Amino acid sequence: MEYRPLGRTDLRVSVICLGTMTYGEQNSEAEGHEQMDYALERGVNFFDTAEMYSVPPRAETYGRTEEVIGTWVKASGKRDKVILATKVVGPGERFAHVRDGNPKFNREHITAAVDASLKRLQTDYIDLYQLHWPERSTNTFGKLNYVHAEEQDWTPLEETFAVLADLIKEGKIRHVGLSNETPWGTMKCIALSDAMGLPRPVSVQNPYNLLNRSFEVGLAEVAIREDCGLLAYSPIAGGVLSGKYLDGAQPEGARMTLFPGNFSRYLKPNAEEATIAYAKLAKEYGFAPADLANTFVNTRQFTTSNIIGATTMKQLESNIDTAEMVLPEVLLEEIEKVNQLYSNPCP
């Protein structure tokens, strides 16, 4: 297993990060514990979660994933073996069940969120605390084009990062990260932190896969030059790049079979054509389609860690196996040809 620096911290995280959002929905507590045990045995020292999980988010399962991790932490006694990341919910119509129904990144809300996460996780500290998505309006979650909105009532970044600084002083969190953030937002937070002596973002957790390489347009340079690397989520585009949904297939128990409305951004025009092309390349060069997709993400210069997600142990094993894989240069050239034909069909 390869380990990479988490920003400018002294932490080194595995190139494979265990995503956990299925725990408490598609995976039981026992299955979640089995996954965490196995991942740790394979050298994965980085687990990622969020207060809003399980996914899809709903009041009945809010915080459930953190609770599953917490019971594992207590039972295993291995908290010190894991770099644990979680996130605070941003605003949105789907989160009327979170705090006062209008989540903000202000002192009251962040403090309450951290304390609740610590309790569910059964730990005294969180290694990486992330803002799950911007409080302001941006072009995230399936949007490429930015449409400006004159808002708006969003918490000044100075206040947000001052709160996070206090939480670091209190020992509740160690480092700060961004998620679903834009180039402007990432650079603004970094510049603000540097100028005011506030916590510097060490990572940005955004979608990145063969069907959505929008991170490369503006954020890749930021990630490399500012040591604020990508924590890539949806590396196989919600399972689409495995090829299992081709020709209208709806595999039993699969995410988009169970929750089609929650992952529609992966089923857009040109997505199937691109997936077929990548699957053909995978077969030609001796890779499983999902392995090709994960290995591509693992090996980008700006990637700090690839957040994989699995509902079965077989999926988990093959995902972790990709940490040892490389793609030949000729295959990378063929991937670029497909990307030119089908550029970012699933932003």
Residue 137 — φ and ψ, nearest 5°? -75, 130
Mean pLDDT within 96-116: 96
pLDDT at 117 over 80: yes
Torsion 98-145-246-232 (CA) sign:
negative
Identify the three-state secondary structure at position 113: helix
Alpha carbons 213 and 191: distance in angstroms, whole number: 25
Tell me the two tokens of residue 185. 């937002």
Average pLDDT of the residues in 83-103 = 94
What integer pLDDT is reported at residue 149 of this predicted model? 85
Quick check: 269 pLDDT over 90?
no
Give the phi and the psi of residue 302 in degrees, each rounded to 5: -90, -5
What span, in angstroms and rounded, lies between the C-alpha atoms of 189 and 192? 5
pLDDT band at 33 (very low <50, low <70, confident <90, very high): very high
Per-range mean pLDDT, top range of 139-153, 254-268, 321-335: 321-335
Written as six digits, the tokens of 134 are 């911007």
pLDDT, residue 254, reads 82
Give the per-residue pLDDT at 266.
83
88/103 Cα distance (integer angstroms): 9
17 pLDDT more than 80 = yes
- Determine the longest span between alpha carbons in the chain, in angstroms: 55
Question: Is it the case that residue 30 has pLDDT exceeding 90?
Answer: yes
The answer, yes or no, to whether residue 260 has pLDDT greater than 80, is no
Q: DSSP of 133-151, one letter per residue?
A: S-SS--S-SS--S------
Mean pLDDT of 191-208: 98
Contacts for 314 with CB less than 8 Å, ≥ 6 apart: none
Give the tens place of pLDDT for each residue, 219-228.
Answer: 999 999 999 9
Q: Is the pLDDT of residue 265 over 90?
A: no
Give 70's pLDDT tier (boundaries 50, 70, 90): very high
Q: How far apart are CA 228 and CA 236, in angstroms?
A: 22
Percent of the chain whose predicted confidence (pLDDT) is above 90:
88
**What is the model's pLDDT at position 343?**
94
* Domains, in order of start, for the chain: 3-239+297-329 (3.20.20.100)
Residues labelled catalytic: 53
212 secondary structure, DSSP code? B
In the predicted structure, residue 171 carries a pLDDT above the cut 80: yes
* pTM higher than the cut 0.95: yes
Could you tell me which of 17, 47, 15 has the C-alpha nearest to residue 33?
47
Return the pLDDT at 253: 80
Backbone angles phi, psi at 284, to 5 degrees: -60, -35
Percent of the chain's residues with pLDDT above 70: 100
Instruction: Reply yes or no on whether the pLDDT at 90 is more than 90.
Output: yes
- Report which of 285, 310, 284, 306 is spatially closest to residue 296, judged by C-alpha positions: 306
Provide the 3-class DSSP secondary structure of residue 19: strand
Residue 180 confidence class, pLDDT cut points 50, 70, 90: very high
Q: In terms of pLDDT, which residue wins out, 142 or 310?
A: 310
The mean pLDDT of the chain is 96
Tell me which amino acid residue 263 is.
F
C-alpha dihedral sign at 113, 119, 121, 127: positive
| pLDDT greater than 90 at residue 264 | no
